[in-house]
Amino acid sequence: MDTKSVFITIAGRANAGKSSLLNALVGEKIAMVTDKPQTTRTKITGVVTRGELQYVFMDTPGIHKAKTKLGEHMNKAVKDCMAGIDGIVYMADVTAKINDIDRAAMAEFAGSKTPVILLLNKIDLLPDKGKIAEKIAEFSELCKFKTVIPVSVRENDGLDILMEEITSLAVEAPHYFPEDSVTDQPEKVIMSEMIREKVMLLMRDEIPHGIAVTIESLDESVTKSGEDILNISAVIYCERDSHKGMVIGKGGSMLKKVGALAREELEEFFRIRVNLQLWVKVKEDWRNREGLIRNFGLNND
Ligand SMILES: Nc1nc2c(ncn2[C@@H]2O[C@H](COP(=O)(O)OP(=O)(O)OP(=O)(O)O)[C@@H](O)[C@H]2O)c(=O)[nH]1
Ligand SMILES: [Mg+2]
């Protein structure tokens, strides 16, 4: 059988819905999603194989004005995903104003041969659908797109059209990933991201962006009743002692909540009972320390 593949990079400003799109296209939650900007920190690859055709989607960190070394690494990750691909999906929140980040991205695309699909997301939030046409006109002045597709990832609206467009960009090529795989993310990364997502969702603004999670140990055992159980021990790192107190919460209440939500999702994803142990440690200002960024696997190399 002749095989085809198509490599697509999903890029755009923070909070546009890129990771939500990746999860929707792959049909499994492999990327964490929160309502806070700069959630995704590294490239996340999602894979879908339909017969002869394999789709490879790369979700990237939201492009932003970097204030930390981690932020610089995140923006570099986006740039690194722009070479050697078959198409770019540039995602914009249809309710947000076009800004300098969008303009800079459009200027880059204008000088490249890679086809760009503009995805205007969150149309479910627009009471006046006439605004979509205005947005399309504004963007079209900045760049020549292969197509512009208004979508709502949340309501699964327009994603079939997107898939058709992406399919038209496929080229004859081998399948680079096993046909039953949905991601190349190592298990430990998926686990730590699920835990980090819960901290981000439950905590107030100043803390979430200073959080990193590592999996310290992982083993399987059998419970007294003969059930397989996965024992996971993870460390949540934060930047200050005061943050550590908040992550733990009164009498450990916050950590308990994080643990309960994360365990539920881990059990669902890995289809096994999970025993999750969480620890909290401080690494001051780690987002500006190259060695620690590398330790946490966030240097995007
Ligand atoms: N109303 C609405 N909200 C959406 C839609 N798609 C995504 N969202 C929400 O937008 C927020 C951001 O979604 P993400 O998928 O994390 O966005 P992202 O672009 O990956 O963000 P970064 O990783 O921070 O760059 C979340 O609260 C999503 O639930 C949509 O179609 N409609
Ligand atoms: Mg994301």
pLDDT in tens, 129-177: 899 999 999 999 999 999 999 999 999 999 999 999 999 999 999 999 9
Integer angstrom CA distances of residue 54 from 1, 4, 18, 26, 182? 13, 6, 20, 11, 11
Question: Hey, is 47 helix, strand or coil?
Answer: strand
- Ligand 1 site, residue 208, Cβ cutoff 6 A: no
- Ligand 1 site, residue 37, Cβ cutoff 6 A: yes
- Does a structural domain hold residue 227? yes
Q: Of 172, 195, 222, at which residue does a domain stop? A: 172
- Does a structural domain hold residue 270? yes
Beta strand 212-222 pairing with 228-238: antiparallel
Measured distance CA(298)–CA(296) in Å, rounded? 5
Residues 128 and 165 both lie in one domain: yes
- Does a structural domain hold residue 177? no
Best residue for ligand 1 mutational test, from 33, 149, 152 (most atoms within 8 Å of Cβ):
33
- Ligand 1 site, residue 153, Cβ cutoff 6 A: yes
**C-alpha 299: how far from chain center:** 16
Token output for 124? 């479910």
Q: Nearest Cα to 176, choosing from 3, 297, 44?
A: 3
Distance from Cα 173 to the centre of ligand 2, integer Å: 28
Residues 82 and 154 both lie in one domain: yes
Q: Of 145, 172, 199, at which residue does a domain stop? A: 172
Residues 71 and 121 both lie in one domain: yes
- Does a structural domain hold residue 222? yes
Residues 122 and 217 both lie in one domain: no
Distance from Cα 224 to the centre of ligand 2, integer Å: 40
Nearest protein CA to atom 9 of ligand 1, as residue: 17
Residue 2: count of CB within 10 angstroms of its CB: 6
Q: Nearest Cα to 59, choosing from 41, 73, 72?
A: 41
Residues 14 and 158 both lie in one domain: yes
- Does a structural domain hold residue 179? no
The ligand minimizing its distance to the Cα of 101 is: 1
CATH of the domain at 202: 3.30.300.20
Question: Hey, is 194 helix, strand or coil?
Answer: helix
Residues 168 and 21 both lie in one domain: yes
Query: pLDDT value at position 300?
Result: 78
- Ligand 1 site, residue 16, Cβ cutoff 6 A: yes
Residues 162 and 231 both lie in one domain: no
Residue 242: count of CB within 10 angstroms of its CB: 11
Distance from Cα 53 to the centre of ligand 1, integer Å: 27
- Ligand 1 site, residue 30, Cβ cutoff 6 A: no
Residues 66 and 134 both lie in one domain: yes
Nearest protein CA to atom 14 of ligand 1, as residue: 17
Position 32, amino acid: M
- Ligand 1 site, residue 154, Cβ cutoff 6 A: yes
Q: Of 172, 200, 233, at which residue does a domain stop? A: 172
Query: pLDDT value at position 115?
Result: 97
Residues 198 and 164 both lie in one domain: no
- Ligand 1 site, residue 9, Cβ cutoff 6 A: no
Nearest protein CA to atom 26 of ligand 1, as residue: 35
Domain count, the chain: 2
Measured distance CA(73)–CA(92) in Å, rounded? 22
Distance from Cα 124 to the centre of ligand 1, integer Å: 12
Residues 165 and 201 both lie in one domain: no
Query: pLDDT value at position 87?
Result: 97
Residues with C-beta atoms within 5 A of ion ligand 2: 18-19, 39-40
Domain region containing 225: 187-295
- Does a structural domain hold residue 180? no
> Is residue 24 a contact partner of residue 159, using CB atoms and an 8 Å limit?
yes
- Does a structural domain hold residue 178? no
Residues 232 and 265 both lie in one domain: yes
- Ligand 1 site, residue 259, Cβ cutoff 6 A: no
CATH of the domain at 112: 3.40.50.300
Measured distance CA(294)–CA(43) in Å, rounded? 15
- Does a structural domain hold residue 301? no
Residue 22: count of CB within 10 angstroms of its CB: 27
Residues 69 and 158 both lie in one domain: yes
Query: pLDDT value at position 136?
Result: 96
Collect the ranges in the chain with pLDDT lower than 50.
none
pTM comes to 0.95
